[in-house]
Structure 1
Amino acid sequence: MSDPFVRPYDPAKDFEACILIFNTTIDKTLDFEPARTIGSHIWCRPYLLLSPRSCFVLDDGNGLAVGYIIGTPDTLAFAAKWKSDFLPTVDANSFTHDGPPLTPEKSALVDGLKHSLYEAECSDIIARPDILAGYPAHLHIDIEPAFQGRGFGALLVARFLKGLREEGAAGVHLGMVRWNEGAKRFYERLGFATCKEVLDGGVSGETGRKGDAVCLVLRV
């Protein structure tokens, strides 16, 4: 068996594998339908369809994608394409829920996800052009559990950052759930730091915080 390696995303064979990776690694608070499907339309599908050149996968050595890093060098341009090119392809009928009624908390979460999808809220700082000027790119990374903790995340980030430099992006940002301390330590080892700006109007009393998310930034 060949060793896992990082390669460019191949739309012809990697799309469904990337959706599976997303579903496998989704945060437990979103691991129910229709949140799972809507989430894939926010944090996965648009990047694969609109910005494939900025997407890279971790190949297991036999052609199967078992991890990915996806994103865009220009968040504002990407959001515009999201509205013009991606939203018209979205089938709201796929956002179904079979089974017992959702709790009020889950229903509210689903409503929030739909709002983010249809408003192209692909970034926690999209409404802050002053911050975006320094960190115009953003990314998402997910790796199957069996391949985590083996250094592949750092390889994916390195390849993505190389592409950003080739595109001339000044910096990159990402959003992560605030309680994922392991992920935060991973990003900090790679040079990311919490955004120093107040993003929630001071509600949390913290910088870089917006709801349950924390924004991290890195100059490239």
Structure 2
Amino acid sequence: MATPFIRPFNTATDQDAGLHVFYTTADASVSHEPARTISSYLYYCAYTHLSPSTCLVLDDGAGLAVGYIIGTPDTAAFSSHWKSSFAPTLEAKLIPPPHLSTEDPALETPLVKGLRKSVYEGACSMLQGVGDREVLREYPAHLHINILPEFTGKGWGGKMVGAWLEVVKELGAQGVHLGMVRTNEGARRFYERLGFRLCEEVLDGGASGKVGRQDGAVCLVKRL
């Protein structure tokens, strides 16, 4: 039986497999179209397009990517690059720019309009635009990780995070953050075992009355 292993992302062979992982593991809130497709550009395609060198995959041992961890060591620079190099490549028919009104009700829901805005503005992090951005300077890297269900619970998630943190640390990042669905207690425990903790900054202007929270998500941070 083939043994899974972690390796660098291969643009030529892993893009579609990684997209399958994204669609399979996407949160239920974006599991319908067009939110599903737009989210894939926001949470997956931008990273593999702009920074494949900071993307790792879990190989099933036979060449197929069955999980990935993607991100950037410098969120501010990545977002700027996104707006200048990735957003202009988006197909307006597939993802209408946020300033355009459409006749498709599905594209005009608050959720989808927010996704359209985020993907064109490079809004890739919960820490962007927070206060004086000191917290983003302290934790400049951010990540996304997804693994197919049949490969979870076997220790690969922790190994992938550890390998990825070494990559961004070598690139100069001294801290990392991530956003996660607030109600996903299992994921929260997983990250806390790896040394992440709740961000102590107020991220929503005090609307929730809690630190580290923004709408239905929370931000976790870790020093490197």
2:16 equivalent in structure 1: 16
Task: Output the amino acid matched with 1:218.
Answer: K
TM-score by length of 1: 0.94
Task: Output the amino acid matched with 2:47.
Answer: Y
1:219 equivalent in structure 2: 223
Please state how far the C-alpha of 1:95 moved relative to its aligned partner: 4.2
Distance 1:182 1:65 in 2: 23
Query: Residues 33 and 95 of structure 1 are in contact (CA less than 8 Å); yes or no, is this contact kept in structure 2?
Result: no
Distance 2:94 2:204 in 1: 32
Is the alpha carbon distance of 1:83 and 1:95 closer, same or farther for their aligned partners in structure 2, counting shifts above 3 Å? closer
Task: Output the amino acid matched with 1:198.
Answer: V
CA deviation vs aligned residue, 1:36-67 (integer Å, no higher than 9, x gap): 01001110001101111110000000000000
**Displacement over 6 Å in runs of 4+:** none
Alignment of 1:44-193 (within 5 A): 44-95=44-95, 102=106, 107-128=109-130, 129-193=133-197
Q: Gapped runs of 5+ residues in structure 2?
A: 97-103
Distance 2:158 2:20 in 1: 21
Distance 1:190 1:54 in 2: 19
CA deviation vs aligned residue, 1:124-155 (integer Å, no higher than 9, x gap): 00113210111000000000011111111001
Please state how far the C-alpha of 1:101 moved relative to its aligned partner: 5.6
- The DSSP-based 3-state class of the residue aligned with 2:117 is helix
Distance 2:67 2:152 in 1: 9
Query: Residues 73 and 141 of structure 2 are in contact (CA less than 8 Å); yes or no, is this contact kept in structure 1?
Result: yes
TM-score by length of 2: 0.93
CA deviation vs aligned residue, 1:80-122 (integer Å, no higher than 9, x gap): 11011101111132249xxx964x9x81111111111112110
Task: Output the amino acid matched with 1:54.
Answer: T
Q: CA RMSD in A?
A: 1.5
Task: Output the amino acid matched with 2:158.
Answer: A
CA deviation vs aligned residue, 1:22-49 (integer Å, no higher than 9, x gap): 0110000110000001001110001101
Q: How many residues align?
A: 215
Task: Output the amino acid matched with 1:182.
Answer: G
Q: Gapped runs of 5+ residues in structure 1?
A: none
Query: Residues 95 and 116 of structure 2 are in contact (CA less than 8 Å); yes or no, is this contact kept in structure 1?
Result: no
Query: Residues 199 and 211 of structure 2 are in contact (CA less than 8 Å); yes or no, is this contact kept in structure 1?
Result: yes
1:5 equivalent in structure 2: 5
